[in-house]
Amino acid sequence: MRIHSTLIALAGLGVAASAQAEGPDFEKEIWPFVKNSCVKCHQPEHKDERGRTRRPKGDLVVTNKEALMKGGEDGEVIVAGKPEDSPFLQMALLPLDHDDHMPPEGKADQWTDEQKKLMEAWIKAGADFGAWERDPEVDVQGE
């Protein structure tokens, strides 16, 4: 009986460890703050309320998985498994007054320390998007 309980306890630990290894859920934990702080400047080309064509800053679109993993004019912004090599996170970690800090200084939607840690954990765990492919509310390119 004792061996059986130990095996059940160990099996439970294995399930917990594998769930933790998967990292944060992109759609539930990462996308909400990315959408809130990045989409205004990094959505597909579109017409604004005055009819002007707006292009994504730095040629980086974050509203769908394919575009986000492709990166922008400077190349990849997320390197799965390597948060230290992922500019998307590294720019958020720069001092607020640094020219390359994102979102730019003065924007109200700065990432919290907890959000930065979530992004780091997500990238470290392999940058898995799960079932999320795009945000139909803002990814006009996909329609």
Residue 3 above 60 pLDDT? no
Q: What is the pLDDT of residues 56-105, one digit of tens each?
A: 999 999 999 999 999 999 999 999 999 999 999 999 999 999 999 999 88
Q: What is the pLDDT of residues 6-58, one digit of tens each?
A: 444 444 444 444 444 589 999 999 999 999 999 999 999 999 999 999 999 99
Residue 29 DSSP code: I
Taking the C-alpha atoms of residue 83 and residue 122, their distance in angstroms, rounded to an integer, is 9
Contacts of 142 (CB under 8 A, 6+ apart): 63, 64, 134, 136
Whether 63 contacts 100, CB under 8 Å: no
pTM, 2 dp: 0.81
Residue 140 DSSP code: G
Taking the C-alpha atoms of residue 92 and residue 102, their distance in angstroms, rounded to an integer, is 5
Taking the C-alpha atoms of residue 38 and residue 110, their distance in angstroms, rounded to an integer, is 10
pLDDT of residue 22: 80
Indicate the domain borders of the chain.
24-142
What is the DSSP pairing of strand 46-47 with strand 53-54? Answer: antiparallel
pLDDT band at residue 143, thresholds of 50, 70 and 90? very low
Taking the C-alpha atoms of residue 129 and residue 136, their distance in angstroms, rounded to an integer, is 15
